[in-house]
Chains A and B, each alone.
Chain A
Amino acid sequence: MAEQIVDEQTYLVVLNDEEQYSIWWADRALPDGWRTDGTSGTKQECLTRIGEVWTDMRPLSLRTRMAATAAAN
């Protein structure tokens, strides 16, 4: 039986320069190197949003390198 612990805090959708997504407490300062994509809401709302936007989980730098290699070939 899955247990649901209701988390009523407000979170933000955040991402770093590698475009890796996560969530962070809305009422707290963002850690260095992270920015918000503008979404805030419950934990579930934020995670759902991430599910929609984070379609390629490769870090940005790798994606760039792989694209460059593909273009060269």
Chain B
Amino acid sequence: MTPRPSLHDLIASSARRAPDAIAVSDHQDTTDYRRLDEHAGRLAHFLAEAGIASGGVVGVRLSPGAAFAQTVAGVWRAGAAVLPLPADRPLGDLPTQVELVLTRDEHAPERHGTARVVDLTALAQDLAARPADHCGRPAEPTDAAWLGHDPATGRTLVLDQATVLHQIDWLVEEFGLEPGDRVLCAGGTDTWFAPLFAALAAGATAVPVPDPAGLAAVAAEQRATLLVGAPDLLAAADLRPGTAPRLVLAAGAELPADAARALTAAGADELCAVHLLDGVLAVTAHTVAPDRTGPNTLLGRPIDKIPLLVLDEYGDLVPPGVPGRLNAAGLGAGAGYLDDPRTTAERLRPAVYGAAGSRMHATGDLVRWQNDGVLELLGEADLPQAAPVATASGRPAYVTPETPAEQTVARIWSELLEVPQVGLEDNFFQLGGYSLLMTELAKRLHQASGTPIVLADLFGAVTVRAQAALLAATEPETAGITPVPRDRPLPLSYGQRRIWLLDTMEPSPEWTAPLFLRLPGDIEADTVRLVLDTLADRHEALRTRYTVVDGEPRQEIGETLPIELKCAEGSREQIVELFREQFETGFDLTSGRLWRATLARTPADGDGQLLLVTIHHIACDGWSAAILEEEFHLLCAALRAGVAPQLPAVPVQYADYAGWQQEWHSKERLADELDYWRTTLDGLVPLELPADHPRPAKRDPHGDVVTFDIPQHLMAAVTDLGQSREATPFMTLLTAFGTVLARLSGQWDVVVGTPVAGRTRPEVDRTVGFFLNSLVLRCQLAEGLTFTEALEKVRVVCREAFAHQNLSFEHIVDELRPERDQSRTPLYQVAFNLHDGQLIGGMPDRADIDYLHPARQVAKTDLTLYVRSEADGTWSGAFEYTDALFERATVERLADHFLRLLESVTTEPGVTLADAEIMAEQAREQLTGWGTGERADWPAATTLDLFEEQVRATPDAVAVIAGDTRLTYAEVDERANRIAHHLIALGAGPDTVVGLCLARGPELVPALLGTWKADAAYLPLDPSLPAERLRHVLSDCRSPLLVTASDQVSATEGYQGTRVLLDTDRAAIQAHPAERPARSGDPELLAYAIYTSGSTGRPKGVMVHHRGLANHLRWAARDLVGGEGGAPLFSSIAFDLPATNLYVPLITGRAVHVLPADLDLATLGDTLLAGAPYAFVKLTPGHLELLTDQLSDGQMSALARLVLVAGEELPARLANRWLTALGTGRLINEYGPTEASIGSTVHPVDRPQEAAVPLGGPLPNTTTVVLDPAGRPVPIGVAGELHVGGEGLARGYHGRPELTAEKFVPNPYGPAGSRLYRTGDLTRLLPDGSISFLGRIDTQVKLRGYRIELGEIEAVLSELAPVRDAVVIVREGATGEKALVGYLVAEDTGPLDLELVRAGIAERLPDYMVPSAFAVIDRIPLTANGKVDRRALPDLDAGDADYQPPTTPTEERIAQIWAELLGLPRVGVQDNFFALGGHSILAIRMTSQLQDEFDIDLSIGTVFAQPTVGRLAAAIEDQIRAEIEQLSDSEIAESDLFAPSTATAGAAATNSKEN
């Protein structure tokens, strides 16, 4: 910085540069620098003569203007100090130091008190005669220069020469003042003086405006480039558009947003505000952002050379985010208060981090640092100390703490919670405490009382009285952490071990922790490097190497290695890219280089610099980052100030803690702690959230982040709700988060992990290293709990978990050995991380997210919810998610659900978890829209009516083609009429159910239509089904009539009603009239009854009415029919699927091709092709699969214009195959239960599918809704039961009112009185609104298009004599082929003859329901809640996993090593290391031994991936082979590969054998 003049020649130097430039332009005149300078010189001579010397005080009572400026300059030139006195007020009591008052008042008395008063007007002649040159000598820097009287406090702050000069210099530098500037200074002379003189020092023009009313006019007239004034003046200024200066400087930090916006609107480019001590001394400055929101005033960054310290009540520095008092040191302290030794002593205190003997100004302002180095004001000085977090509503009456213990507790609370007076009955949480603070409380109580405090007890004792009682009752202290000798191998802590192990297996960016700092622009890279190296010197963890000694990882503390610091400059994108690279660069744990840094500048961030330090997690955690951040700033400040840094002592290092932890874990309490966790976590099931993509076999740590804001009112409501239940915001948010997870996953036993600082001992407060621990919070919610009940439950869960946090997570994982699963994180898959902002610093805030989120694409779990308080007092949230599982939009919806649920439960805390709303109105409307099919107002007509219309329209068109037989519409109609007359004669009428047991043939169609013409309904029976089943169905249906043929009679043997034999009774039928009989034709009458499999062992008859059937066929006729041809009928009409193929041609004037009953499926393709082309073909995926093999692409395309697939899930592969052959617009997937008349939804397959084809959306006059078990619509992506409503809904189940009432339920979302059918299908909505099939809710399955209730097969099996119990499952073979497998438990009477069972069941059930394999088991395995544990049933293929001895030498050696490590007598080839009891640490030892044994680099990852002896042996042999191939011949010759160990020789032998 160029040397600046002293105040003595401040103006002289400007006058020398440009004497004619205008120095001051006031309302009267302009004054150039020459005149100003000369006047100052003359006045100085006068003052000297008047006896005013350096250090003297001159009162200047002039209004702002040129006279004032030149008079002050004159006083300064005389070396004296100025006490500005308002010209518009009479002289009051003057301080005794004032020797002379300069004024313009001809009536002024010559003396005022002890001071001489001089009228400058009268003095003019005298002055003119004096020389204008310099006189005297400059004052000392410590001499007074300005006495700022603050009318608000009545105090006068003395500023010395150096301070005033610095204030002026800083303004000139900071705001770039230069000669062309015109600086408008609004206000009186007792306001902030410095800008006026800064203008003069810079050679600019000062424009004093004493009268605020004229400000706007002057600003316009003077074309000011700068405007300075108090915020209220600026707010009132009302500048005209375009007249605002480039820069507006507010003399006070709080410029109202309105004013800021108005000034910006008037054209100001930049708005700045300074924070002034006592109204005169600027200590901070910041740029004002008009749009900023936040409860606290920003003070800004410290002004150069004014170190600002935020100190707690003990005078200790506090980290960012923590409130403290503002202290200004250096040139910001001031020189004391005039005539006020008491205030001076109180406010100017010894500086804690400054030069020896220097003072700092204790302003009393309550402030805190933001993470970016900006100060914010929380409370003004002298105001009551408001606690930042406490809201003390409903506090109990104050009771004075009396005993020493009570007083101790009260005092510590008071400190922690910043509440001045804590009473005996106060509640910790009510005063603003939270769970993380409990840890701190325990530590402080421990320190103060000497007795250790169990955290759990503290959670149970939340009043001062209760905690004081605890202090009295606790046992003596256990050993603390002390330094351990460094001359022996140092163990790793459990946390270090796990990170080391995982990192060794697979290095991943998730083990990189960030420290992100914003630094001023002028900090040199060398300084940064020096500071970082100093930090490594201080903290051993930053220079520790990790090595393996005797199969055990060890830490070795090394010397500090110079940090790798990169410097970069570029756009924000470039910097983000650099940061990303830095995050993704791994660390070599054996090298001792555990951190690296980049110092970056980007124009996007102004003059500052960004420092990203990445540290391996093994050396760092969030708390450590906060320590490093704080120490970094302290070291930097000290280096820049040129003083020795004073850092707090680090009593113990990380290795000491690791040693202590081992000690601690070896104690008996370990067993208790483990017991607690074992019990708590027993039976844990992984949380499976609805994902967009299948879970990869191996967890992918790549992730992304969705951020959101929690509105202030909502967070306040959350806090209030918690406080009313003695719960912390953490617990309340966790309960809400858990509820969302449960609602989305359907799993109510929600497990969420949460990080805790892990620093339960005070000794490690300043230690850097990985202390972070993870707590598993098993919320065990239930849908029937109210939110407040759930909160109570979660509160207890949290308390207990926090109380048992001493056991490390890693230890629990190793001990509990959860099923080893590389696809997910152990014990918990979802985490919650709340930063209250108080205890865990070092976290980037919202502004830094721009850099860190795009650079660090990591997901530590499937889903982690972060909630943090921002520097401006708002709360923000973020979901970090693994993008291998979730799409961004899905996580965004999750955030919406979370916020909506928070609204819901805070508004109505008594709502049950199942009932609480998680969907916004808009989302619900969207679901309703998707679930509502087209409204089609078909004219009322039955299928039969439509057929008869067609008969009239095209009587001679072919209606039925069956073999060689062709029947015209008229012929079919006539035959049907005669049959109808016959049936009526036999008693058929409305709603009579007529059995129909006919093989496919020409007579089938007239018979079906004939029943309808009799107003009756038909019951289709497939003659190929077992007689037992047909008999059952007929009797269940109480069919009085059965239409059949003589060759089918045997199928329905034993039928008691009247048979109509179409062949035998032909003559009788022919005798009836050809005209149609009269009928009611009521569309509510039954059209047919179709029996489907029933879970209780009885098939159930679905009663479908004409209205429902016609609705479906109308749609099909409209949307499916086109081009040439009709449709083929080739599957059993005992099911409703082929009804479309049968009836749609008959109502559209086309032919139905009735394929023969003895159709050989092996020739299905050719048979179908013979009748092609069809308008459409409806078939099952099974048929489609057959046709794929039987037809060429051309034939597939030639088959039909449209292919409609239904009856079963349509696999993607099959759909894609046909899509290729057909092209778009020709393949449709249809879904519909019989109970909803054939079809409910369709999904056109127009794009290649990645998963099974969705069910699609609702057909006309149909509604669909996916409901949770509580009957509420579920959000997109969430599994729920599909319910179908609308025209198609069947009447119910024949003769089964209970079952009908259970399955057909009131529809709260449709027309009054309407019903919904519960399909039992588990589905979810895709983001595009189509329904996707997930499986069955019950045990119903679909096999080859048949709907099968496994329960029915089980019931039938159990009825067989030698079977006591049975379970049937569907097993999927390796090729994807599904088959039924029956597991039988035998009666005690004796062994089961499976052949007898097979024969027995074949008599009772259709073929497709007969299991293809049986197994006899001792008992049926049950899950914890008493359901059949289907997964625990033995795999029929696996056989006995008995001992298989190792065969190759490699296997033998591995088995031997395992047996030794695991303490087992023998280990077999198929045995799994982890199943035998191996855990991660044993795996490391084993790997180490195998490496030595086989002389190869074996990764632990291989051991995890190949956990059996056989597979590991194969992997090792592969690796040996690969290494041999890498070697050159000579190397092989020289190497000892073939020589030494038997194992290697064995591997080579195996190798040659295989080849």
A-side residues, CB < 8 A to B, are 1-3, 5, 13-14, 16-18, 20-25, 30-34, 43, 46-48, 50-51, 53-55, 57-59, 61-62, 65-66, 69
Contact = CB atoms under 8 A, between A and B. Distances in A.
Contact of B1291 (A22, A23, A53, A59): A59
Interface stretch (B656-664, B1080-1088, B1450-1458): B1080-1088
B1306 A16 contact: yes
Nearest to A52: B1297
Contacts of B1358: 1
Contacts of A31: 1306-1308, 1312
**9 tightest A-B CB contacts, nearest first:** A33-B1313, A33-B1312, A16-B1313, A54-B1297, A31-B1308, A32-B1312, A47-B1298, A62-B1084, A51-B1298
B1306 A57 contact: no
A33 B1285 CA distance: 15
A50 B1095 CA distance: 20
Contacts of B1294: 57
B787 interface: no
Interface string B962-1003: 000000000000000000000000000011000000000000
B1297 A21 contact: yes
A24 B898 CA distance: 29
B1301 interface: yes
17 contacts: A1-B1354, A1-B1365, A1-B1420, A2-B1355, A3-B1428, A16-B1314, A17-B1313, A18-B1313, A21-B1300, A31-B1306, A46-B1301, A51-B1297, A54-B1301, A55-B1297, A57-B1291, A62-B1082, A62-B1084
Nearest to B1310: A31
A51 B1308 CA distance: 23
Interface in B1264-1306: 1271, 1291-1292, 1294, 1297-1298, 1300-1302, 1304-1306
B1120 interface: no
Nearest to B1305: A22
A55 B1307 CA distance: 22
**From B1103, B1306, B1365, residue with most partner A Cβ within 10 Å:** B1306
Nearest to B1271: A25
Given A2-B1095, A32-B1308, A34-B1313, 10 more contacts: A2-B1351, A16-B1314, A22-B1301, A23-B1305, A24-B1306, A46-B1301, A47-B1301, A53-B1297, A65-B1084, A66-B1082
Given A22-B1304, A48-B1298, A57 B1315 contact: no
Interface in B1087-1133: 1095-1096, 1103
**From A18, A31, A55, residue with most partner B Cβ within 10 Å:** A31
A46 B1301 CA distance: 9
Contacts of A30: 1306
Contact of B1302 (A5, A14, A47): A47
A66 B1300 contact: no
Given A16-B1313, A66-B991, A50 B1298 contact: yes
B1080 A20 contact: no
B1427 interface: yes
B244 interface: no
B1410 interface: no
Interface string B686-699: 00000000000000
B224 interface: no
Contacts of A17: 1313
A62 B1085 CA distance: 8
Given A1-B1428, A14-B1306, A23-B1305, A50 B1082 contact: no
Given A3-B1427, A32-B1312, A65 B1301 contact: no
A3 B1349 CA distance: 13
A1 B1103 contact: no
Contacts of A66: 990-991, 1080, 1082
B1367 interface: yes
Contacts of B1339: 3
B1311 interface: yes
Contact of A1 (B1271, B1315, B1367): B1367
Contacts of A32: 1308, 1311-1313
B1366 interface: yes
A18 B1427 CA distance: 38
A66 B795 CA distance: 63
A10 to B, nearest CB: 12
B323 to A, nearest CB: 48
B1386 to A, nearest CB: 14
Contact of A61 (B1084, B1351, B1427): B1084
A1 B991 CA distance: 36
A6 to B, nearest CB: 9
A24 B1304 CA distance: 11
B1302 A23 contact: yes
A46 B1311 CA distance: 24
A57 B1271 CA distance: 25
Given A34-B1306, A66-B990, A2 B1354 contact: yes
B1091 to A, nearest CB: 16
Given A2-B1095, A2-B1351, A57-B1291, A20 B1315 contact: yes
A58 B1290 CA distance: 11
A59 B1084 contact: yes
Given A1-B1354, A16-B1315, A65-B1082, A58 B1302 contact: no
Contact of A50 (B1085, B1291, B1297, B1420): B1297
Contacts of A53: 1297
B363 to A, nearest CB: 61
Nearest to A44: B1298
Nearest to A8: B784
A3 B1366 CA distance: 12
Contacts of A54: 1297, 1300-1301
A31 to B, nearest CB: 4
Contacts of A3: 1339, 1427-1428
B1297 to A, nearest CB: 4
A34 to B, nearest CB: 5
Contacts of A61: 1084
Interface string B1339-1356: 100000000000100110
A68 to B, nearest CB: 10
Contacts of A5: 1427
Given A32-B1312, A62-B1084, A22 B1306 contact: yes
B1385 to A, nearest CB: 9
A30 B1313 CA distance: 10
A28 to B, nearest CB: 8
Interface string B1219-1244: 00000000000000000000000000
Nearest to B1085: A62
Contacts of A22: 1301-1302, 1304-1306, 1315
**From B1103, B1271, B1315, B1427, residue with most partner A Cβ within 10 Å:** B1315
Given A33-B1311, A33-B1314, A59-B1291, A23 B1082 contact: no
Nearest to B1083: A62
B1105 to A, nearest CB: 9
Interface in B1138-1156: none
Contacts of A55: 1297
**From A22, A24, A47, A48, residue with most partner B Cβ within 10 Å:** A22
Contacts of B1312: 16, 31-33
Nearest to B1352: A2
A33 B1365 CA distance: 44
B502 to A, nearest CB: 41
A53 to B, nearest CB: 8
Contacts of B991: 58, 66
Nearest to B1313: A33
Nearest to A57: B1292
A24 B1270 CA distance: 11
Contacts of B1297: 21, 50-51, 53-55, 57
Nearest to B1368: A1
